[in-house]
Amino acid sequence: MAEPGKRSIVIVGGGIIGSTTAYFLTRHPKYNPALHSIHLIEATGIASGASGKAGGLIALWAYPSCLVPLSFKLHGELAREHNGVERWGYRGVHVGQIDLVGRHVSNQPKISANGDSKGDDIRGLHRPDVSSDGNVSLQKRSKESYANLRKAGMPDDLDWVAEECVQGYDSMGSPRDTAQVHPYQFTTSMAELAAEKGVKIILGSVDKIESSPSGEHTVKYTDKATNSQQSLSATDVIVTAGPWTKTVLPGTPIGALRAHSVTIRPTRPVSAYCLFTQLALPKNFKEGAKSRAMSVSPEVYARPNNEVYACGEGDHLAPLPKSTAEVQVDDSRCQDIVDYCASLSDELRDGEVLVRQACYLPQVETGAGPLVGLTKTKGVYLAAGHTCWGIQNGPGTGKLMSEFVFDGKALSANVSSLDPRKVLR
Ligand SMILES: Cc1cc2nc3c(=O)[nH]c(=O)nc-3n(C[C@H](O)[C@H](O)[C@H](O)COP(=O)(O)OP(=O)(O)OC[C@H]3O[C@@H](n4cnc5c(N)ncnc54)[C@H](O)[C@@H]3O)c2cc1C
């Protein structure tokens, strides 16, 4: 079939949504690099926002149901095609809701001026038994302990949560319907694979999209390297700027919620569980800090690279900055997450904190979301507002955006409920 003609496609934003969109555009049967140019413009760095700092859980039981099955299936296919097991840590995983009573935390890790604790002594006072030859006991459980924990619903191989903390466990997912990826590795791999097939990645911040009534667009941006104003003519512009979408497409109801997270290298490799915790903290649970008894719910995910990721609740204390480079990391919030982990696991308490970070979750202000599809301006498309399931729904969104561009409509899933035109002014 003859190609309809030249197309100049510009993607704004290099998070998971922009990167998977770039990837699937280059895998679309109608993509012809002789006729179609694709530019991805990213303000700071690929995966420098939430897409590089998320947990990376993917699940068939996520939402929205119109997008999840397609995207979950594509995650599996991408992992098989590109060796995702090695390249981005793809693996099946167990997920559970776990009720815990936290222990007092009597250590205060040192925090360096820049908040980076790497190399600092963060070991706790409740050290595991260390024998005279220096070996650290794994403190394996007794038969009685296993029996007690089984009564609470705990799987036997979830042995890195301190036994005395466990109140109850309910399975939410197993490797049949739940998996995980390392989000930074996955997103950057998608961008690299897209670039191998012809996508040009530009580091620059899009200031404005000007559209003519005939459907031609000019994307104006500030080039990062030269700090100069540049522009690209485009037949198609896909906005995937996550929480910054409003600044690129004014009037789009996408908000932002800051969230902190940490990664910890445990004292030994831990089994493949992602835990949604309900953690009751005793009064004054930190040494030297007065606090009331309270309940918190950090998510704690074991990763295959001998790393555990943990994130806390979101906050609106710092408004969305201009770019991912200017996100403020509140050390005390990161330290809270480290302490919650310490209060529930010896392996995490005595491990090494690797990263303390923050990012902004993109949220659709009118509820639900994400918004995926055409806008009211011909040739301008939107894929944003993926809330807490953007890693799970990235590949499906990218595939559908390639169909919107090359086929004029979504073919692989019915996402009419996510149509941006329903909420755009
Ligand atoms: C703590 C936390 C944990 C999470 N865990 C999970 C999880 O386990 N599983 C899951 O499925 N989801 C998870 N998520 C959600 C997921 O991270 C997001 O939904 C997803 O990353 C959003 O991707 P995005 O590409 O839309 O946005 P972003 O990752 O924010 O990317 C947007 C990009 O656009 C760029 N940009 C912005 N403005 C401009 C401009 N003017 N010009 C050029 N570029 C621009 C930014 O620099 C940025 O790189 C989590 C989120 C958080 C905060």
- Catalogue the E-assigned strands of 266-375: 273-281, 294-296, 299-303, 307-315, 352-364, 371-374
Ligand 1 centre from 14 Cα, in Å? 9
Mean pLDDT of 244-268: 97
Report pLDDT for 107.
Answer: 54
User: In 3D, which of 360, 402, 396 has the Cα closest to residue 381?
Assistant: 402
What percentage of the chain carries pLDDT values higher than 90? 82
Instruction: Give bridge partners of residue 42 from the DSSP assignment.
Output: 203
Candidate CATH numbers 3.30.110.30, 3.50.50.60, 3.30.1490.480, 3.90.1150.10; the one for domain 7-89+182-252+365-422: 3.50.50.60
Q: Which atom of ligand 1 is nearest to the CA of 205?
A: 42
Ligand 1 centre from 362 Cα, in Å? 7
User: In 3D, which of 379, 384, 378 has the Cα closest to residue 423?
Assistant: 384
Mean pLDDT (the chain) is 90
363 token code pair = 């949220």
pLDDT at 207 over 60: yes
Binding site membership of 301 for ligand 1 (Cβ less than 6 Å): no
The least confident of 100-114, 234-248, 401-415 is 100-114
pLDDT tens-digit readout, 367-401: 888 999 999 999 999 999 999 999 999 999 999 99
CA distance 141 to 144: 8
Count of Cβ atoms closer than 10 Å to residue 288 Cβ: 7
pLDDT at 147 over 80: no
Ligand 1 centre from 165 Cα, in Å? 33
> Sorting pLDDT into bands at 50, 70 and 90, what band is 112?
very low
Q: Please, are residues 259 and 359 in contact by the beta-carbon 8 Å criterion?
A: yes
Report pLDDT for 332.
Answer: 95
Q: Residue of the nearest CA to atom 3 in ligand 1?
A: 54
Q: Please, are residues 245 and 320 in contact by the beta-carbon 8 Å criterion?
A: no
Instruction: Give bridge partners of residue 231 from the DSSP assignment.
Output: 220
Residue 311's contacts (CB-CB under 8 Å, 6 or more residues apart) are 55, 259, 260, 261, 262, 298, 299, 337
Report pLDDT for 46.
Answer: 98
pLDDT tens-digit readout, 160-184: 999 999 999 999 999 999 999 999 9
> Sorting pLDDT into bands at 50, 70 and 90, what band is 124?
very low
pLDDT at 113 over 70: no
**Hey, is 381 helix, strand or coil?**
strand
Number of alpha helices (DSSP H) and beta strands (DSSP E) in the chain: 10, 19
Mean pLDDT of 67-86: 98
Q: Which amino acid is at 74?
A: L
Torsions phi, psi of 250, nearest 5? -55, 140
Binding site membership of 191 for ligand 1 (Cβ less than 6 Å): no
Q: Residue of the nearest CA to atom 4 in ligand 1?
A: 54
User: In 3D, which of 100, 89, 13 has the Cα closest to residue 58?
Assistant: 89
> Sorting pLDDT into bands at 50, 70 and 90, what band is 141?
low
Mean pLDDT of 197-224: 96
Binding site membership of 384 for ligand 1 (Cβ less than 6 Å): yes
Mean pLDDT of 263-278: 97
Q: Please, are residues 184 and 51 in contact by the beta-carbon 8 Å criterion?
A: yes
Q: Which atom of ligand 1 is nearest to the CA of 392?
A: 11
CA distance 61 to 65: 8
Report pLDDT for 244.
Answer: 98
Mean pLDDT of 181-200: 98
Higher pLDDT, 317 or 127: 317
Q: Please, are residues 261 and 337 in contact by the beta-carbon 8 Å criterion?
A: yes
User: Where are the domains positioned within the chain?
Assistant: 7-89+182-252+365-422, 94-178+256-363
pLDDT at 26 over 60: yes
- CATH number belonging to domain 94-178+256-363: 3.30.9
CA distance 374 to 408: 9
Q: Which amino acid is at 123?
A: R
Q: Choose the residue to mutate in 10, 20, 42, 182 for probing ligand 1, maximizing ligand atoms within 8 Å of C-beta.
A: 42
> Sorting pLDDT into bands at 50, 70 and 90, what band is 214?
confident
Q: Which atom of ligand 1 is nearest to the CA of 386?
A: 19
411 token code pair = 């073919």
Q: Residue of the nearest CA to atom 14 in ligand 1?
A: 388
pLDDT at 216 over 50: yes
Ligand 1 centre from 371 Cα, in Å? 14
Torsions phi, psi of 186, nearest 5? -65, -50
User: In 3D, which of 325, 322, 299, 384 has the Cα closest to residue 16?
Assistant: 384
Binding site membership of 16 for ligand 1 (Cβ less than 6 Å): yes
Q: Residue of the nearest CA to atom 21 in ligand 1?
A: 51
CA distance 244 to 40: 16
